[in-house]
Structure 1
Amino acid sequence: MNSRTSLSSWKKLVTQSETMAKCHMKELFAINEQRFNEFSIQLPSFLLDYSKNLITTETISTLLELAKECDVEVWRKKMFQGESINSTENRAVLHTALRNRSNKDIIIAKKNISEDIRHALVKVEEFSNKIRQGLWKGYSGKPITDAVNIGVGGSNLGPQMVTEALRQYSDNSINVHYVSNVDGTQIADVLRKLNPEKVLFIVSSKTFTTTETMTNAKTAMKWLTASSFDNKAIKKHFVAVSSNKKNAISFGIEENNVFDMWDWVGGRFSLWSAIGLPIAIDLGFDKFIALLDGANDIDNHFCFAPLESNAPVILALLSVWNCTFLGHQSQAILPYDQSLHRLSAYLQQAEMESNGKSVSWDGDDIDYATVPTIWGELGINGQHAFYQYLHQSNNIVPADFIGSVETVTPVNNHHNTLLSNFLAQTQALMQGVNKGQICLDLKAKGYTDEYIEKVSSHKVHKGNRPTNTILLKRLEPRSLGSLIALYEHKIFVQGIILKICSFDQWGVELGKSLAHKIQKELEGKEINAGHDSSTKGLMNFIYSTLENTK
């Protein structure tokens, strides 16, 4: 087994982590006034400040050595050239080609996929314009007013996150809704508000076999035909985004209403494709292109910037440093922008589904920690929920703080209040406050010695909690595209360093296959003998409860 742990840089980092664990960031800032300048990267759309990590120039130098020993630059070239780096599925990984603005030919299996991409974009543009301009009519001749995206995972999280993040840029000509949960409550709530004569359903499924998506799509189709009394209405109200055109047509969707997907685009990296159709319908095709342009800006930065000033590379190395070497098994994503309220969930899937694995691409068990648990919430809400844990728990949780210099919705002095909290939290997490400072402060405020002795220990913040700060100049389509691509490439570099295939998701499959079998048993009321006693007991409880409610 050729483990990463045998690399010389890895061994150096193990030693350095033992030394750095005894340091405090506050001291590192005190001895180096240039720390921010040394450990920050400024790009056209945002600034990345990573100075509030437990690192020195030696740490970064060794991490960069690790990246080179892991051939990050070689693997980067392989990805952009369309080699089959998704080794377990023998597929290329080319979501970057979807936003390539150079018109450069990209050949896979002797086929120029750039032509396919251009045709798909033209189709998205023409269709979204028809919907937005009221030229596409429903079965009764009325224009579309609402679009419902039916998908799950990457077919839902990406478009929904983007449309909600950029809501201030929408002209509200079309109302876009999302259905992902197979719990009937969600689709019932969405359909209740809609007029079937004026609604468009977008069924997004790469394979067109995903149980949750197909179940919701069937319900939507029955709802439509019950109103129109005519199956021909489907062609006016249903479109699909899929790589399995045959399945989509068999489901009942017109061939001309199927938008292409390709097996070289992973679901969680697919919003740049026709999966982004809801984005174009909601915001307009020009803003969808601006989103792609922003992602392409980061693609170029990632390809050509030296590793030491390469933002995705640095973010990936810091994640490996914090999780694998310093042992911090959790990371928070904390947006200080109401518009980004779905970003934490989006990045949770992107990173944990990509790199939450314990087997290397060689098929060997991995003997080191891979990626942390990703979670988060809007910053201000989090301050009054779990920041107590971030500041004073024995468990250290590195965090990414994401905000904007300018707000797209200026209201009185709200944004200055938001930014002051944004800046204060990373400073507090880094510096902390010791017992001596607390005692002096309480004494100056007139508290008694008895009270000070009683509460001072409770007020201690040890600090030394790592954070990255990503400060957008302004949240807009182009900068959001850059932000998303930043994390996509971070995930890619993580995977290379950790020796993980980042582009499959076999961990999703077992539960789904078992659910398919169990559903048949629930409907047939016959329990398979192969189940464990717990599953049998739960199924029997469901049976008996349903019988008693009849």
Structure 2
Amino acid sequence: MTLINGAGIALDASYQELSIDDLLSQVRLPEDFAQKRQQLMRGDYKNVSENRNVTHTLCRSVHAVSGLSNQESRFAQMVKKLRSGRWLGATGKPITAVVNVGVGGSDLGPNMGSFALKEFANDSALNELDVHFVSSMDGGQLYAVLPIIDPETTLFIIASKSFGTIDTLANIDTVRQWIKPQLTEQQWLEAHVIGVSSNAKKMTDYGIPAAHQLTFGEGVGGRYSLWSAIGLPIALSCGLQTFERVLAGGKAMDEHFASAPDAENIPVLMALYGIYNRQQLGINNLAVLPYDGRLRMLPNYLQQLDMESNGKQASADNQAIDYPTGPIIWGGFGPNGQHAFFQHLHQGYDQFAADFVLVLKRQAPGFAPEVAAKLAEQQRLSVANCLAHRQLMKFGSKNTESPRDHYPGGHPSNLILMDELTPETFGALIAAYEHKVFTQGVYWQINSFDQPGVELGKKCAIDILAAVNNDEPPAFDESTNAIIEKARS
């Protein structure tokens, strides 16, 4: 067994089908990969279909968040003002709750980070903020959040790269009605809203004061944006220093990815094993199985990161391709999955690959020694279960007499582990997956930084919404027309 270490995390690929040496001899990176990797690190790798550079790695600098030593950034000022209780609403009451309204990359990363790292807040905040997340266009999340917050003490973050996302604006339109019994719209906009977008003009046109706007570059893709101002909810939940530590972990993984030889490079090996499993073994899906409750949102986050990036049938220069690219990404919190879908993994007919994510130890500050000891014991229980199920998925358990007790095994997996989950190792883990996706995109000759299928779906939805809202006979297929008529009635 060879453990590959980098930036505070480690990769054990010994349960894959090939050794590292055999893998590198069978799956070769393109000759221009090193050049493209350096372009990514410098922020001048080209997203060709959208004609702009890819710049999310440049966000992974403390200066990007805190500002230079002689000038504190607006981001830092906002975080400190809110966490100290000095941000007052329009009626003079301190803000005690924050609602982040965004979808996709404006929701998944901030939500995941805020939940995973809550315990690491160390700035002695005088004002513990309740941070909520609203993304669904159906209003279901608003329905749950609005009854437990107060318009006078709640601040809304409108997070949208384009500041035109219909899901987000639909939620905000409802909020604008909800605040009216207690606040005027002008009061709400001036004291209860922060806008986060790459489009400052649209934020200004919407009525958000310039001092309450945070911007980030066009080259920061939504699914790569938690490192930017989109990460504001993480800093509000966990403190500015904690968010800076996340950035430091991401930067450390950047350095590892840029400099480590292929045989010792965590993102490169994750990418190449994924390519081998997809193309040579014909495995079309990857189960992401974190064995720490703080990382329970990781599968959903990686689903967007990977599938929106590499779910493509066209090359970067817009030529049709006839080979498989990114796999289906799915999964769930491992200990809960054991009581749900692991039965199918162990004894179903379908092939899959898996990424187990394991945290070996956990501190329990703030608890009595006896409780801390029991929590440490529970972490060891999780470690044992992770290793057991990983072993069984690989080697199986043969029983020729009782089919019910036969476990076929043969499922390749990675084990990604860290001694402890910290803001640094969290940042390194997310950056490693980003670089894995980038490496596979270069190998498959696709553009990992656009999402044309998503855009077309949005346009189709606008056409159907218009049909639902008018009385003209709908002009779609028979089934869609019938459902539109039913929705009208």
Contact 1:291 1:477 in 2 (8 A): yes
Matched, 1:266 2:252: no
Matched, 1:430 2:375: no
Partner Cα distance (1:81, 1:42) in 2: 24
**Could you tell me which residue of structure 2 aligns to residue 458 of structure 1?**
404
2:51 maps to amino acid: N
1:303-382 correspondence to structure 2 within 5 Å: 303-382=258-337
**Could you tell me which residue of structure 2 aligns to residue 284 of structure 1?**
239
2:484 maps to amino acid: M
**What is the Cα deviation at residue 250 of structure 1?**
1.4
Contact 1:53 1:466 in 2 (8 A): yes
Contact 2:289 2:354 in 1 (8 A): yes
**Could you tell me which residue of structure 1 aligns to residue 100 of structure 2?**
149
SS in 2 for 1:435: coil
CA 1:191–1:477: 2 relative to 1, 3 Å: same
Unaligned runs of 5+ in 1: 1-35, 104-113, 437-452
1:366-445 correspondence to structure 2 within 5 Å: 366-409=321-364, 410=372, 412=374, 413-435=377-399
**Could you tell me which residue of structure 2 aligns to residue 540 of structure 1?**
485
**What is the Cα deviation at residue 435 of structure 1?**
2.4
Matched, 1:98 2:59: yes
SS in 1 for 2:46: coil
Matched, 1:79 2:40: yes
Match of 1:138 among 89, 109, 116: 89
Partner Cα distance (1:273, 1:512) in 2: 25
Partner Cα distance (1:405, 1:372) in 2: 28
**What is the Cα deviation at residue 394 of structure 1?**
2.4
Q: Output the TM-score relative to the length of structure 2.
A: 0.93
Partner Cα distance (1:431, 1:96) in 2: 39
Contact 1:336 1:378 in 2 (8 A): yes
Q: Deviations over 1:87-145 (max 9, x none)?
A: 100111111100135x7xxxxxxxxxx79976997111111100010111001111110
Partner Cα distance (2:21, 2:131) in 1: 50
Matched, 1:218 2:182: no
**Could you tell me which residue of structure 2 aligns to residue 59 of structure 1?**
22
Contact 1:240 1:253 in 2 (8 A): yes
**Could you tell me which residue of structure 2 aligns to residue 47 of structure 1?**
10
**What is the Cα deviation at residue 45 of structure 1?**
1.6
RMSD value, Cα: 1.9
2:396 maps to amino acid: G
Match of 1:162 among 81, 90, 113: 113
**Could you tell me which residue of structure 2 aligns to residue 188 of structure 1?**
143
**What is the Cα deviation at residue 221 of structure 1?**
2.4
**Could you tell me which residue of structure 2 aligns to residue 468 of structure 1?**
414
**What is the Cα deviation at residue 84 of structure 1?**
4.6
Partner Cα distance (1:245, 1:541) in 2: 40
**Could you tell me which residue of structure 1 aligns to residue 77 of structure 2?**
126
CA 1:356–1:121: 2 relative to 1, 3 Å: farther
Q: Deviations over 1:423-455 (max 9, x none)?
A: 11111111112226xxxxxxxxxxxxxxxx4xx
SS in 2 for 1:381: helix
Question: Hey, which of these two has a bigger chunk of helix by percent?
Answer: 1
2:46 maps to amino acid: I
Match of 1:481 among 421, 427, 438: 427
Contact 2:474 2:484 in 1 (8 A): no
**What is the Cα deviation at residue 487 of structure 1?**
0.3
Partner Cα distance (1:403, 1:301) in 2: 20
Deviates more, 1:185-194 or 1:114-123: 114-123
**Could you tell me which residue of structure 2 aligns to residue 9 of structure 1?**
none
1:227 maps to amino acid: Q
SS in 2 for 1:226: coil
Partner Cα distance (2:10, 2:385) in 1: 18
2:204 maps to amino acid: I
